[in-house]
Structure 1
Amino acid sequence: MTDLPILEATGLGKRYRRSWALRDCSLSVPSGRVIALVGPNGAGKTTLLHLAVGLLSPDQGTVSVLGQAAGSGEALARIAFMAQDKPLYESFTVEEMLTFGRRMNPKWDNDFALRRLASLDIPLKRKAGKLSGGQQAQVALTVALAKRPDLLVLDEPMANLDPLARHDVMRGLMEAVADTGMTVLLSSHVVSDLENTCDWLIVLNGGRVQVSGDLDELLAEHRVLSGPVEGADALAARVSVVEENRSERQATLFARTGPIPLSPQWTDRPVSLEELVLAYLRKPDAAALPRPALAVS
């Protein structure tokens, strides 16, 4: 496994006319992870992904994949990208899609593609436009996986799929990760898609990176603290409060803190992934960023 970050951005920004879709984005993500990229609509998720795979050029800053400039031939050879609309040539048969993939990608694994589609009972002679939404997603994922990329980038891959199809696509993705050890960067606004699958979290909010880090570490260092409102100010001064709610008698603090002694009137509990994401999205000025390990030129 390489020591180079799979994805690294420094001061990255992209502007559309007078508005910044992404600004001052700096992050460094290690290889071999399943990375969840979350945020509300319009947060800049697709822009970041398109910059990473070379479909867009930055207006400021830099972005690289395994040390190679995004969009360069060296980087593109190591990336597979599956867009939200599951791009397939609708007039092509599934078999013709595989032929197209084989001709375009020197590391193409046609035996893998055939085995995977056979296991899913997807007929090779059927036109892509005649497949169900779930089957189209599986064919698009197969084409991406058969490229044998180091980095697989997926933009809302489960969008518009029913729950069973969503489960099947995610299961197939996780099986491929287990078999190959590749890195996956997966955007979604549905947090439940990410439970028990992703181990690195990036939260984009308003075009800026708000959270980035190892998911287990992020969950471990956040707590929900509950107790009498009279002691809330004193406790809040000892921890980093992301969000708080107070009633006449009760206070609840969502805090970034390690183990901390509490008076008997106070309780604390771990947080869930959904709670973590929503707490930060509700507070755009709050941030949970790791100590960066950006490469030094």
Structure 2
Amino acid sequence: MNTALEAHGLGKRYRREWALRDCSLHVPAGRVAALVGPNGAGKSTLLNLAVGLLRPTEGSVRVLGRHSYGDPALLERVGFVAQEVPLYRDFTTAELMTMGAKLNRRWDATLARDRMEAFSIPLDRRVGELSGGQRAQVGLALALAKRPELLLLDEPIAGLDPLARREFMQVLMSGVAQSETTVVLSSHLLGDLERVCDYLIVLQSGRPQVCGSVHELRDEHKLLIGPPRASTDIAGVTAVIEENHFDDQSHLVVRTDGPILDPTWTVQEVSLEDLILAYLASPAPGPTVTGASQ
């Protein structure tokens, strides 16, 4: 399986409003993909469509080569941690683990128990009595114990403190490394994403602006520093994504198709955060930008 998640012309409408429209993208198997965008961009809708909780209004979405909606057999191959990590708060941690074992044929009881012990999560305590960080770890442990081929995470760490976020990401990457699971992680915390993700999807107004390998996208984009209000007609530049002009110089985030040889400009690498923010600051999305090999 070369592609874990793919969408073609995918759209979802709620009454008169489109949460997604003409959304086409793919995530290769084995990647850890960052899904980013402003509030209302369609991230949660995309993940809910992918896991089969919503039915597309138009287009299609396939997970692990199969249409996700109306395919219960696919659920055992997919893990999902939704926003707010919804769990049965009256259940104890041990009861949730027992339920997981009964509902999932691929259940790894040892993994689930080891994760609970590693974070000193009491098995006899009700989930509603746990801290936010502990609930997030329980949700992740239950999802990983399914041994999913695809793991979808919808902003599970947004409300956690920095230490709890770091611990969550460490557990995530440890679990992924052991199982070679494909991950799609939605988050606004760009610093956390930069440390763990090797694939990027940027959604804006319900459509993907960027979809591709982080390494390739960073190679194709540069930060140019040059004279104030200088011409943006620069050899090697195919598009100016964001421009900021100051009294003494201009900063341009650009997409390139070759080296920038004009001595007027100083060329610098862009971080993943710089790249994401540049696209989010740009106007409504045009054709999706992809990595060179996509």
Q: How much has 1:82 moved relative to structure 2?
A: 0.6
Secondary structure of the corresponding residue to residue 62 of structure 1: strand
Alpha carbons 1:39, 1:45 under 8 Å: kept: yes
Q: How much has 1:226 moved relative to structure 2?
A: 1.5
Alignment of 1:135-284 (within 5 A): 135-229=134-228, 231-235=230-234, 238-247=237-246, 250-283=249-282, 284=284
Secondary structure of the corresponding residue to residue 52 of structure 2: coil
Q: How much has 1:251 moved relative to structure 2?
A: 2.5
Letter in 2 for 1:270: E
Q: How much has 1:291 moved relative to structure 2?
A: 7.0
Alpha carbons 1:28, 1:292 under 8 Å: kept: no
Moved more, 252-261 or 186-195: 252-261
Letter in 1 for 2:289: A
Secondary structure of the corresponding residue to residue 239 of structure 1: strand
Q: How much has 1:258 moved relative to structure 2?
A: 4.1
Normalised by the size of structure 1, how large is the TM-score?
0.93
| Counterpart position of 1:134 | 133
Secondary structure of the corresponding residue to residue 64 of structure 1: strand
1:122 aligns with 2:121: yes
| Matches of 2:92 and 2:108, distance apart in 1 | 18
Where in structure 2 are there 5+ consecutive unaligned residues? none
| Matches of 1:111 and 1:57, distance apart in 2 | 35
Alignment of 1:47-86 (within 5 A): 47-71=45-69, 72-86=71-85
Runs of 4+ in structure 1 off by over 6 angstroms are: none
CA 1:61/1:179 → structure 2, altered by over 3 Å: closer, same or farther?
Answer: same
| Matches of 2:101 and 2:262, distance apart in 1 | 65
| Counterpart position of 1:94 | 93
Q: How much has 1:246 moved relative to structure 2?
A: 2.7
Q: How much has 1:109 moved relative to structure 2?
A: 0.8
CA 1:275/1:102 → structure 2, altered by over 3 Å: closer, same or farther?
Answer: same
Alpha carbons 1:21, 1:207 under 8 Å: kept: yes
Once the two structures are superposed, residues 146-177 of structure 1 have per-residue CA deviations (whole angstroms, 9 ceiling, x without a partner) of: 11100011100102111111110011000001
Q: How much has 1:76 moved relative to structure 2?
A: 1.6
| Counterpart position of 1:289 | 290
Alpha carbons 2:158, 2:189 under 8 Å: kept: no
Once the two structures are superposed, residues 41-100 of structure 1 have per-residue CA deviations (whole angstroms, 9 ceiling, x without a partner) of: 110000000000000000000001111111312322210111111111111111001011
| Counterpart position of 2:28 | 30
Q: How much has 1:249 moved relative to structure 2?
A: 5.1
| The one of 10, 13, 22 aligned to 1:12 | 10
Where in structure 1 are there 5+ consecutive unaligned residues? none
Q: How much has 1:233 moved relative to structure 2?
A: 3.7
CA 1:119/1:146 → structure 2, altered by over 3 Å: closer, same or farther?
Answer: same
Alpha carbons 1:177, 1:183 under 8 Å: kept: yes
Letter in 2 for 1:39: G
Moved more, 248-257 or 156-165: 248-257
| Matches of 1:180 and 1:266, distance apart in 2 | 45
CA 1:101/1:66 → structure 2, altered by over 3 Å: closer, same or farther?
Answer: same
Alpha carbons 2:112, 2:141 under 8 Å: kept: yes
Moved more, 75-84 or 237-246: 237-246
Q: How much has 1:116 moved relative to structure 2?
A: 1.6
| Matches of 1:118 and 1:230, distance apart in 2 | 59
Number of residue pairs the alignment of both structures matches:
291
CA RMSD of aligned residues (A): 1.8
| Counterpart position of 2:37 | 39
Q: How much has 1:238 moved relative to structure 2?
A: 4.5
| Matches of 2:243 and 2:279, distance apart in 1 | 12
| Matches of 1:164 and 1:178, distance apart in 2 | 21
